Structure 1
Amino acid sequence: MASNVSGAPRGAQTTRRPFATGWTVFAAVMMIFGGAMAIFEGIAAIAKDDLIVVTRDYTFKMNTTGWGWIHLILGILIVLAGMALFAGAMWARVVGIALAGLAMLANFLWIPYYPFWAIMLIAIDAVVIWALCAGTTRTAGPD
């Protein structure tokens, strides 16, 4: 069986890089962008909750100031996890997937307040989850 310079078999070669690459960088940038949008969304709901129009008979009723705090805290955590992804740590991927899933849920419940904004953030979070799950560093060499 042929081996590479490090002595590992070629078919099982993995590359370890100090910085994240490819889909991980894309996911990190999108997490920072989506987290910043969630922060602004939270600040808007906390500062001027009387500007938000709410559907009267919506199933998931909550004070808009409470939603604002949820989005603000979640947005800060998402930005921090996005920054940690640039280091390429596996824990940052797992945390990023979990936070993007929570953000999708929060934005689904936020649809009656800001429909377009919430749907855009749901789409961004879905792409982030896909990118974090699809981005691998394993390469297969010729045998």
Structure 2
Amino acid sequence: MIFGGAMALFEGIAAVAKDDLFLSTRHYVFEFSLQGWGWVHLILGIIIILAGCAVLTGALWARFLGVFVAGLGAIANFLWIPYYPIWATVLVAVNLFIVWALCHGMHREAGHAHAA
């Protein structure tokens, strides 16, 4: 999660700085300004990093928070695909892997609790 959050953070910084590596897309349904999308990714990246640090504590609430914010990260990057296709696709995959890993960990812990 910390890695995925850091990548979203860097993506947001690049967009807010109006870097020229992004595609200009016209007539896109979810069209915001590049800076608007940059702030979305910047804030979401910070929240994902903080949630990743909380998950390291082992708290159950942190796992639920992690699933929620990683899900938001996957959606935000899916909507970001027209602006930076390869990077956004990789981050969608990273966020979906995070959701799977956190849910799989919760399922395994629940199974061990019933076995005891």
With structure 1 as the length reference, what TM-score do the two structures score?
0.73
- Provide the rounded CA distance (Å) in 2 between the counterparts of 1:91 and 1:127: 19
Match of 2:37 in 1: 67
Structure 1, unpaired ranges of 5+: 1-30
Q: Which 4+ stretches in 1 moved above 6 angstroms?
A: none
Deviation at 1:51, TM superposition (A): 4.4
The answer on whether the counterparts of 1:49 and 1:64 sit within 8 Å (CA) in structure 2 is no
What's the RMSD between the two structures over aligned residues?
Answer: 1.3
| Greater fraction helix | 2
The answer on whether the counterparts of 2:18 and 2:34 sit within 8 Å (CA) in structure 1 is no
- Provide the rounded CA distance (Å) in 2 between the counterparts of 1:77 and 1:55: 27
Deviation at 1:52, TM superposition (A): 2.2
How many residue pairs are counted as aligned between the two chains?
Answer: 111
Match of 1:94 in 2: 64
With structure 2 as the length reference, what TM-score do the two structures score?
0.89
Structure 2, unpaired ranges of 5+: none
The answer on whether the counterparts of 1:107 and 1:121 sit within 8 Å (CA) in structure 2 is yes
The percentage of counterpart residues that share the same residue type is 60
Find the structure with the greater CA-based Rg.
Answer: 1
The answer on whether the counterparts of 2:16 and 2:39 sit within 8 Å (CA) in structure 1 is yes
RCO greater where, 1 or 2, for CA within 8 Å and sep 6 or more?
1
